[in-house]
């Protein structure tokens, strides 16, 4: 059997190609070819190898749309690990870039991208979000809390000491950040490699170092008044997850004196840089339990509020959410579907749509209606304002169709 993975590569990130109706036109008549759809975001190289062997593939082909360099690195790595399976990489012009030249006969003809626009914005956003997660420790709720997504490595000498077992147990779409890099080529690694001190300095300027009491005080102020202070317009807080006890095991920091949970080097795992993955895992802090109570919800949405303040370049902003007190008491006993956030500061009044990531300017009454709606307090709002029903209906239409 032949496994076929049709993927897009952009800025080293690989994803399964989603235009399925076009894929059926691509393959020549061959009942040995099985279209594969592997999860590269939450699966490791070990997972991928186990999967390929379990499927009983004799060959595995990557058909690549876009860039190809990282896919070739992955195929080469897999070939070294599974020498009884032939791995190949072919681009959409049917040029075999790695492996068996005969794989070109599996396809009917050159693939033509029918999309009018192929944007790199998604991959750029993916990398930026990854950098934010690595330094704050704050990862999406749906991510496995014990799968490695980021390695921070102080210099290339440390890179040589890290156990191969660690690399085998990080997600395929994961990033390795090598701070100080001079000679060693990073092209041999099948991961997203980010190198250079200048890149680090560019990103580090976007973060601020705070202690636990400062962060907890900010959370209390947000709950009691909706206010988030960010006088330096930073986008994130270093090691936020550990400060608010929402630790996950999605990142590791390799310094010359040991392996740490955090960028700030307050939580040492081991001084042995060559420690294998099992030993690191057994000495790591346990990941937090995803209990959806009021405090946990506030901790989970606060990084977004802090991040949004940076766009306005003002000392503070007030946020209207179901969980902060403005005109009505916060919701503390249930989860609400949060699609809109209201924002008020010295520059104006706005609403931010979390689904399309767009900001809209608005007025005070709209924000008050939104708060009342989010907190199931529209009847109370009607008692405070006469002749407000038309405005409520306008609000509902805007929210519905935005």
Residue 92: per-residue pLDDT: 84
At 204 the pLDDT is 87
Q: Which of 70-74, 155-159, 182-186 has the highest mean pLDDT?
A: 70-74
Mean pLDDT, residues 24-39: 80
69-121 residue pLDDT tens: 999 999 999 999 999 999 999 998 889 999 999 998 888 766 666 654 445 55
DSSP 138-206: ---TTS-TTSEEEEEEEEHHHHHHS-HHHHHTEEEEEEEEEEE-SSS--TTSSSEEEE-HHHHHHHHTT
Q: Which two tokens stand for residue 145?
A: 């809390």
Task: Answer whether residue 160 shows pLDDT above 70.
Answer: yes
**pLDDT for residue 136 is more than 60:** yes
Which pLDDT tens digit goes with each residue over 285-336?
A: 988 876 678 999 999 999 999 999 999 999 999 999 999 999 999 999 888 8
- 3-state SS track over 382-397: HHHCCCCHHHHHHHHH
Query: For position 182, what pLDDT does the model report?
Result: 58
Which pLDDT belongs to residue 116? 43
pLDDT, residue 117, reads: 44
pLDDT given at position 317: 97
pLDDT-based confidence at residue 197 (cuts at 50, 70, 90): low
Query: Is the Cα dihedral 133, 137, 141, 143 positive or negative?
Result: positive
- Whether 99 and 202 have beta carbons less than 8 Å apart is answered as no
More confident residue, 21 or 40: 40
CA distance 14 to 66: 10
Residue with tokens 């990033």: 175
Residue 202 has pLDDT above 80, yes or no: no
204-251: per-residue pLDDT in tens?
A: 889 999 999 999 999 999 999 999 999 999 999 999 999 999 999 999
Q: How far apart, in whole angstroms, are the C-alpha atoms of residue 374 and residue 341? A: 10
Q: State the number of CA atoms in the 13 A half-sphere of 376 facing the CB.
A: 7
pLDDT at 20 (0 to 100): 59
Beta bridge partners of 87: 60
In angstroms, the Cα distances linking 218 to 95, 205, 237, 255 are 56, 21, 12, 30
Q: What are phi and psi of 241, to 5 degrees?
A: -60, -40
Contact in structure between 27 and 33 (CB atoms under 8 Å): yes
CB–CB of 350/360 below 8 Å? yes
Q: Is it the case that residue 270 has pLDDT exceeding 50?
A: yes
Q: Beta partners for 352?
A: 341, 359
For residue 124, what pLDDT is reported? 76
Residue partners of 20: CB distance under 8 A and separation at least 6 = none
Helix (H) or strand (E) holding 277: helix 277-283
As a whole number, the mean pLDDT across the chain is 90
Question: In the numeric block, which tokens belong to residue 20?
Answer: 């399925």
């Amino acid at each position: 059997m032949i496994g076929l993975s049709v993927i897009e590569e952009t800025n080293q990130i690989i994803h399964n190609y989603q235009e399925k109706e076009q894929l059926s036109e691509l393959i020549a008549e061959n009942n040995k070819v099985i279209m594969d759809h592997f999860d590269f975001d939450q699966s490791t190289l070990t997972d991928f190898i186990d999967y390929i062997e379990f499927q009983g593939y004799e060959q595995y082909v990557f058909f690549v749309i876009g860039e190809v360099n990282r896919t070739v690195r992955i195929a080469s790595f897999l070939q070294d690990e599974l020498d009884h399976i032939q791995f190949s990489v072919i681009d959409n012009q049917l040029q075999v870039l790695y492996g068996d030249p005969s794989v070109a006969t599996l396809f009917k003809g050159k693939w033509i991208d029918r999309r009018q626009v192929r944007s790199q914005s998604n991959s750029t956003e993916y990398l930026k979000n990854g950098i934010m997660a690595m330094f704050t420790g704050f990862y999406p709720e749906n991510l496995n809390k014990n799968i490695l997504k980021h390695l921070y490595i102080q210099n290339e000498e440390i890179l040589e000491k890290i156990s191969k077992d660690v690399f085998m147990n990080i997600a395929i779409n994961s990033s390795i950040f090598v701070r100080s890099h001079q000679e060693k080529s990073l092209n041999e690694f099948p991961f997203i490699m980010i190198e250079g001190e200048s890149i680090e300095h560019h990103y580090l300027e976007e973060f601020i170092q705070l202690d636990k009491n400062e962060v907890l005080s900010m959370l209390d102020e947000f709950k009691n008044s909706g206010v988030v202070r960010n006088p330096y317009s930073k986008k994130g807080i270093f090691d936020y997850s550990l400060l608010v006890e929402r630790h996950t095991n999605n990142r590791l920091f390799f310094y010359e004196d040991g392996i740490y949970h955090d960028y700030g080097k307050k939580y040492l795992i081991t001084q042995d840089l060559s420690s294998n993955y099992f030993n690191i895992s057994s000495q790591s802090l346990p990941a937090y339990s995803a209990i959806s109570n009021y405090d946990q919800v506030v901790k989970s949405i606060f990084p977004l509020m802090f991040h949004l303040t940076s766009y306005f370049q003002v000392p503070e902003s007030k946020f209207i959410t179901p969980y902060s007190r403005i005109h009505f008491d916060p919701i503390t006993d249930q989860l609400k579907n949060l699609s809109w956030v209201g924002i008020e500061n010295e520059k104006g009044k706005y609403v931010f749509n979390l689904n399309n990531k767009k900001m809209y300017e608005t007025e005070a009454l709209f924000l008050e209606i939104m708060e009342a709606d989010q907190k199931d307090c529209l009847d109370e709002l009607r008692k405070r304002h006469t002749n407000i029903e038309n405005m409520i209906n306008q609000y509902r239409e805007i929210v519905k169709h935005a």
